[in-house]
Amino acid sequence: MMEQYIEIKLANPDSLLFYRMGDFYELFFHDAEVAARALGIALTKRGKHQGEDVAMCGVPVHAADDYLEKLIAKGYRVAVCEQMEDPAEARKRGSKSVVRRDVVRLVTPGTITEEKLLAPGEANYLMAIGRVKGTSENSYALAWIDISTGAFKVAESAADRLLGDILRVDPREVIVADPVFHDLELRSVFDVLGRVASPHPATLFDSAAATSRIARFFNVATPESFGQFSRAELSAIAAAIAYVEKTQISERPPLARPEREENSSTLFIDAATRANLELVRTLSGNRDGSLLKSIDRTVTGGGARLLAERLTAPLTDPAEIEARLDCVSFLQSETRLCEELRALLKGVPDMPRALSRLALNRGGPRDLGALRTGIDAARQIADLLSSAMLPQRLATCCSQLAELPETLREHLNLALAEEMPLLKRDGGFVREGYHDELDEMRALRDQSRRVIAEMERDLIEETGIRSLKIRHNNVLGYYIEVTANNAEALTGTDEAKARFIHRQTMANAMRFTTTELAGLETKIANAADRALQIELSIFEKLLAEVVSHADAIRAGAAALAELDVSGALAILATSENYCRPRVDDSLAFAIEGGRHPVVEQALRRQLGDPFVANDSDLSPEGDASHGAIWLLTGPNMGGKSTFLRQNALIAILAQMGSFVPAASAHIGIVDRLFSRVGASDDLARGRSTFMVEMVETAAILNQAGERSLVILDEIGRGTSTFDGLSIAWAAVEYLHEKNRCRAIFATHFHEITALAGKLPRLHNVTMRVKEWEGDVVFLHEVGKGAADRSYGVQVARLAGLPDAVVERAREVLRQLEEGETSGKAERLVDDLPLFSVAAKREATAPKANDALVEAIATLQPDDMTPREAIDALYRLKELAAKG
């Protein structure tokens, strides 16, 4: 057996081998040590190999999905090795023959289909990266598959945008050819991806053999019938297919034909911007607090996945965006219709994933039941919408629902029972009356159970043994059991011995059978087996019929997802008071009363406070042919970062086809969005916070064009004052003169505000504040003009710095602002008292007037007359004068 294990393990060196032994999957040697640590299970030892103990651990087969989930989440790959024959068959070859085993599937993060292992609202993409050098085509291409739904897409890419394109899709697993994986120019890309990316033999990505591989998988003469693909795209498509075939062994998932995405059709968001804006996850990796979480009102898994896809890939075609907005507007205006639609959608199961499991022979009766329920719901939704004056996109969805095969719907309803078991081997999923022979076998099986009970009653009356029982187990089958004290009645006479055949003696009981019971057992066994055999045959026929309609089912499921997203965005717009944006080909960017969609909801939920809305206008002015740049100044805690982000998020929401959190919005198409907000380092790659800031700023200045939207916060703060000021100054000039993009540039370098007089498209705006009794009040309002100070000391006091530190800071700041030190630290040290002296002065300050404190403590204001209160105030004044 261990020889067999080692042979199979050598064929799967990069996977943990789940080796089936009875009711357990066992792991041995290094695999056992890795799995025991990862799963927190006991590591044992058994036997010897080359003189050393063999490490061993195992997991129960019935709970394997739970353990697979943990391993996949940690990035491991698992080879599932099953027993391919019954142990009894192996024994026929000899007493020491080993049960034949083989790997039936490789489980990897990008190829899982089990319902328990998948998040309903998240896609589970496997991505392949293709590269072809020495051609005039783009050298890189990406192909990504969700094997759980059949989605298959492909797009070209380039080295400078590769990471951004990968993170847009957010794949769970990325496969790449060995030479590409070890290319030093791409090292930074794969460092970011970490364990998600893995190298594979270059033969998997052979573009010369790609055409034939794709044609063979889809059973077509040539993949040109799907569209025109570059060599890099063909390489990526073929690699993805080859990897799916490798991991699924003999099974073939029902993949859609590859659909090409044009780079120009979606808004490009680079990796840093995507992370900074926290579109689908926060910087800490959580969904809570992300933009997706705040806007998600979907009620189906397919709708949630489509919403995430739209959010991560906003459109750049105004006509397509308007078509999506028309759907949202229609459902927002038709409140009752929208409510009825969403009520029906709530009952729609995840049809694409059920279809995929069935096609891969991992599905069960409940997956057939899910398709029946989904197709029934689709028919009801089509009937609901049939009489409405729908926008074009919703009308198309309605027609796709109507095209779901009626014969399949009728057949599933006719064949399937109301209550479905989890496993097909349990039987009971075929409706009574569907199959005559099945009904007959079930009747015999169920009637025989009553006959057994009647036989038991007859034997009790005949023998007088009240404790006599007819039982069943897998070894003896049906048997008669009596206690040892009552066995004499069945063995005392020759007639009894002839009738009751002894089978087994227990400590306190004896077991018998009769010819009559044995005959009845044969009938029962044959009826139950035959009934299950018929049900399994029906299951296979239904499965084949379902898979034959895979394209129609996927199209119907896509229509349901689009209806769900449109309804969800309509509900969002109504509940959160969002407006319909105007999106066109201009360079306009005018937002009135804009709000941050995530912060607004958090404020209302946690504090009950309203969000302070602000306008922004980066549109070209007068004869200007390019958008404006706003130079934003103001104190920390004033709301600059929130204002920066909210404008970027409003642009994303508008171009994904959603209403936006504003009173009104006019947005000219943004083709590239860049954001440099926040501070972080990358110590693993030897980059300081300032270096990361400069790398990201360089990427923006090198790539932004006139249709870009750029959000920059505090450029140059990570170095000395004059270095930082000079870098920020030069960056503003470059954005204005070279990039000519729409931008908001936040800074604490107030000196840059002087540029507004020199650069015609640059405008100064500031976060308004008020000072009251020595405190600063943040109004969170954006207004024209420039800040005259940063209020950093006041913010430090609010943060809880010791009073001595705050006062010392005020003293130093006062001297600096008065210019008495002429910028020389030596002079400042001479002129200002040392901190230790200030602290000592504070420590030795006179204590409060004890008599005054005591007098105040004895006052009872609620019990005083006006005259008594006045007299008390005079007494306190006298005490204060004395102290």
**Which pLDDT value is given to residue 569?**
97
CA angle centred on 328, ends 327 and 334, rounded to 5°: 90
Domain boundary among 264, 284, 304: 264
**Which pLDDT value is given to residue 324?**
97
**Measured distance CA(706)–CA(587) in Å, rounded:** 8
CB 139 within 8 A of CB 205: no
In a domain, residue 544? The reply is no
Three-state secondary-structure class, residue 30: helix
Amino acid identity, residue 345?
A: L
CA count, 13 A, side-chain hemisphere, 460: 11
Same domain, 373 and 500: no
**Measured distance CA(251)–CA(363) in Å, rounded:** 12
**Measured distance CA(328)–CA(223) in Å, rounded:** 36
Same domain, 169 and 186: yes
pLDDT < 70 stretches in the chain: 134-138, 678-688, 718-720, 773-774, 788-789, 817, 819-849, 883
Region for residue 300 given its phi and psi (left: phi exceeds 0; alpha: psi -120 to 50; beta: otherwise): beta
Amino acid identity, residue 546?
A: V
CA count, 13 A, side-chain hemisphere, 452: 24
**Residue 593 annotated as part of some ligand binding site:** no
Q: Residue 485 maps to which CATH number?
A: 1.10.1420.10
**Residue 634 annotated as part of some ligand binding site:** yes
In a domain, residue 184? The reply is yes
Same domain, 750 and 858: no
**Measured distance CA(415)–CA(534) in Å, rounded:** 12
Cα end-to-end span (Å), the chain: 96
**Measured distance CA(157)–CA(165) in Å, rounded:** 7
Which one, of 797, 770, 767, lies nearest residue 782 by Cα? 767
**Residue 389 annotated as part of some ligand binding site:** no
**Measured distance CA(165)–CA(146) in Å, rounded:** 17
Same domain, 181 and 243: yes
Same domain, 39 and 178: no
Same domain, 808 and 750: no
135: buried, middle or exposed (CB in 10 Å: 19+, 13-18, 0-12)? exposed
Calculate the average pLDDT of the chain.
88
Residue 836 to residues 805, 814, 828, 840, Cα–Cα distance (Å): 10, 19, 15, 6
Same domain, 657 and 767: yes
**Measured distance CA(577)–CA(594) in Å, rounded:** 11
**Measured distance CA(214)–CA(881) in Å, rounded:** 96
**Residue 519 annotated as part of some ligand binding site:** no
Three-state secondary-structure class, residue 288: coil
The residue range of the domain holding 820 is 801-843
Q: Residue 65 maps to which CATH number?
A: 3.40.1170.10
Same domain, 692 and 807: no
Domain count, the chain: 7
Helices (H) and strands (E) in the chain, counts: 33, 27
Query: Do you know the residue count of the chain?
Result: 883
**Residue 223 annotated as part of some ligand binding site:** no
CB 110 within 8 A of CB 62: no
Q: Where are the alpha helices (DSSP H) in 128-278?
A: 162-169, 178-181, 187-193, 210-218, 231-248, 271-277
Distance of alpha carbon 616 from the chain centroid = 32
Give the full edge-to-edge strand order of the sheet including 197-200.
Answer: 197-200, 173-177, 126-131, 140-146, 151-157, 259-261
Q: Residue 605 maps to which CATH number?
A: 3.40.50.300
Amino acid identity, residue 501?
A: I
Residue 714 to residues 135, 461, 672, 752, Cα–Cα distance (Å): 42, 96, 21, 12
In a domain, residue 24? The reply is yes
**Measured distance CA(123)–CA(779) in Å, rounded:** 41
In a domain, residue 284? The reply is no
CB 581 within 8 A of CB 667: yes
Q: State residue 846 phi and psi, 5-degree precision.
A: -60, 145
**Measured distance CA(581)–CA(655) in Å, rounded:** 9
Q: Which two tokens stand for residue 64?
A: 């394997």
- Residues 6 or more apart from 151 whose CB is under 8 A from it? 123, 145, 256, 352
Which one, of 307, 145, 132, lies nearest residue 230 by Cα? 132
**Residue 764 annotated as part of some ligand binding site:** no
**Residue 636 annotated as part of some ligand binding site:** yes
**Which pLDDT value is given to residue 821?**
47
Same domain, 398 and 477: no
**Measured distance CA(144)–CA(153) in Å, rounded:** 5
What sign results for the dihedral spanned by CA atoms 465, 469, 475, 476?
Answer: positive
In a domain, residue 617? The reply is yes
Measured N-to-C along each axis, helices 515-548 and 436-463 cross at an angle, to the nearest 10 degrees, of 160
Q: Which two tokens stand for residue 182?
A: 């070890």
**Which pLDDT value is given to residue 831?**
55
For the chain, give percent helix, strand, coil, nearest 5.
50, 20, 30
**Which pLDDT value is given to residue 845?**
47
CB 730 within 8 A of CB 699: no
766: buried, middle or exposed (CB in 10 Å: 19+, 13-18, 0-12)? buried
**Which pLDDT value is given to residue 681?**
46
**Measured distance CA(290)–CA(276) in Å, rounded:** 11
Same domain, 518 and 553: no
**Measured distance CA(376)–CA(363) in Å, rounded:** 20
Q: Which two tokens stand for residue 204?
A: 């998997």
Give the full edge-to-edge strand order of the sheet including 582-584.
Answer: 582-584, 664-668, 589-594, 614-617
In a domain, residue 747? The reply is yes
Q: Which two tokens stand for residue 409?
A: 């719907």
**Residue 474 annotated as part of some ligand binding site:** no
In a domain, residue 112? The reply is no
Question: Quick count: other Cβ atoms within 10 Å of Cβ 810?
Answer: 14
Same domain, 727 and 783: yes
Q: Which two tokens stand for residue 773?
A: 């009794």
Domain boundary among 539, 561, 591: 539
In a domain, residue 344? The reply is yes
Same domain, 43 and 87: yes
